[in-house]
């Protein structure tokens, strides 16, 4: 007996009951949209963005092609919606972890740990947002760049109260370079099929990120502490 492609989805993404289920229209629409986003993430993880078709998305989402076009004009629009959903969730979690701590080094450590934990727990979404977004067309690349920019203020806060000697060796692009380096390391693990091991990168990313502001020795102590 063939398995139900929606059976493994979380409750909020599960198949709706057939026929007259009596659910409000806005709930049904939201449910279908979320399933399509999840279906896209699964299809892209399986075939890559270029190889994914709308038929792949609807198969994973367990909805009809007609339903797909009720929500999205095409694969590109669905991908944008998926990317926006992932980055919004990631930003909310990172921000909450950051704000829960009092001093800046602890805030950065908490933010990095939360980011890695989220990506490790959602391998399909991690691949979509970190790897496939860069090959999904100019609209998504623009959103990718914009998403990166939203994380820079967390790092720029590390400049506050630092000695002039420290600030003098920080270039205007230090924060962008740090985020770019983190993304590169994370991306390589995802491409290698090691998404579930991302949390092991935590100490290295913490040391790499804190070193320009605190110095190598203190950054290493905090990272391994």
pLDDT for res 165: 85
For residue 6, count other CB atoms closer than 10 A to its CB.
17
- Return all residues near 173 (Cβ < 8 A) that are at least 6 apart: none
Q: Which residue, among 38, 29, 125, has the nearest Cα to 78 in the 3D structure?
A: 38
Task: Quickly name the fold that domain 11-72 has.
Answer: Arc Repressor Mutant, subunit A (1.10.10)
Token representation of residue 128: 């979509």
Residue with tokens 């699964």: 42
In terms of Cβ atoms closer than 10 Å to its own Cβ (0-12, 13-18, 19+), residue 81 is middle
| Single pTM value for the model | 0.83
User: DSSP letter at 127?
Assistant: I
Rounded Cα gap, residues 180 and 163, in angstroms: 25
Residue with tokens 């000695």: 163
pLDDT for res 19: 43
pLDDT for res 136: 85
Contact 116, 202 (CB under 8 A): yes
pLDDT for res 29: 55
Encode the chain (225 residues) as per-residue pLDDT tens digits.
Answer: 344 444 443 333 344 444 444 445 554 456 888 889 999 999 999 999 999 999 999 999 988 999 999 999 999 999 999 999 899 999 999 999 999 999 999 999 999 999 999 999 999 999 999 999 988 888 888 888 999 899 999 999 999 988 888 889 999 999 999 999 999 999 999 999 999 999 999 999 999 999 999 999 999 999 987
Q: Which residue, among 74, 200, 78, has the nearest Cα to 132 in the 3D structure?
A: 78
Contact 202, 215 (CB under 8 A): no
Q: How far is CA 60 from the centre of its chain?
A: 20
The CATH class, in words, for 76-224 is mainly alpha
Query: How is 21-80 classified by DSSP, letter by letter?
Result: ----HHHHHHHHHHHHHHHHHHHHHHHHHHH--HHHHHHHHT--HHHHHHH-SSHHHHHH
pLDDT for res 16: 43
Listed by start position, the domains of the chain span 11-72, 76-224
- The sign of the dihedral angle between the CA atoms of 169, 172, 174, 175 is positive
């Amino acid at each position: 007996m063939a398995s139900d492609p929606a059976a493994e989805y979380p409750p909020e993404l599960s198949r709706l009951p057939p026929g007259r289920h009596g659910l409000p229209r806005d709930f049904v629409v939201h449910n279908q949209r979320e399933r399509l986003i999840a279906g896209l993430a699964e299809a892209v993880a399986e075939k890559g963005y270029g190889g994914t078709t709308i038929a792949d998305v609807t198969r994973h989402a367990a909805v009809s092609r007609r339903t797909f076009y009720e929500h999205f004009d095409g694969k590109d629009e669905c991908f944008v919606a998926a990317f926006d959903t992932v980055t919004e969730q990631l930003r909310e979690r990172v921000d909450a972890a950051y704000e829960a701590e009092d001093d800046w080094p602890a805030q950065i450590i908490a933010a990095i740990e939360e980011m890695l934990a989220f990506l490790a727990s959602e391998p399909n979404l991690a691949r979509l947002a970190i790897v496939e977004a860069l090959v999904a067309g100019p609209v998504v690349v623009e959103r990718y760049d914009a998403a990166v920019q939203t994380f820079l203020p967390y790092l720029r806060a590390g400049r506050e109260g630092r000695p002039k000697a420290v600030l003098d060796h920080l270039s205007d692009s230090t924060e962008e370079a740090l985020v770019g380096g983190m993304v590169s390391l994370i991306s390589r693990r995802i491409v290698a099929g090691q998404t579930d091991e991302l949390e092991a990168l935590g100490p290295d990313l913490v040391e790499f990120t804190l070193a320009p502001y605190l110095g190598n020795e203190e950054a290493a102590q905090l990272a391994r502490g």
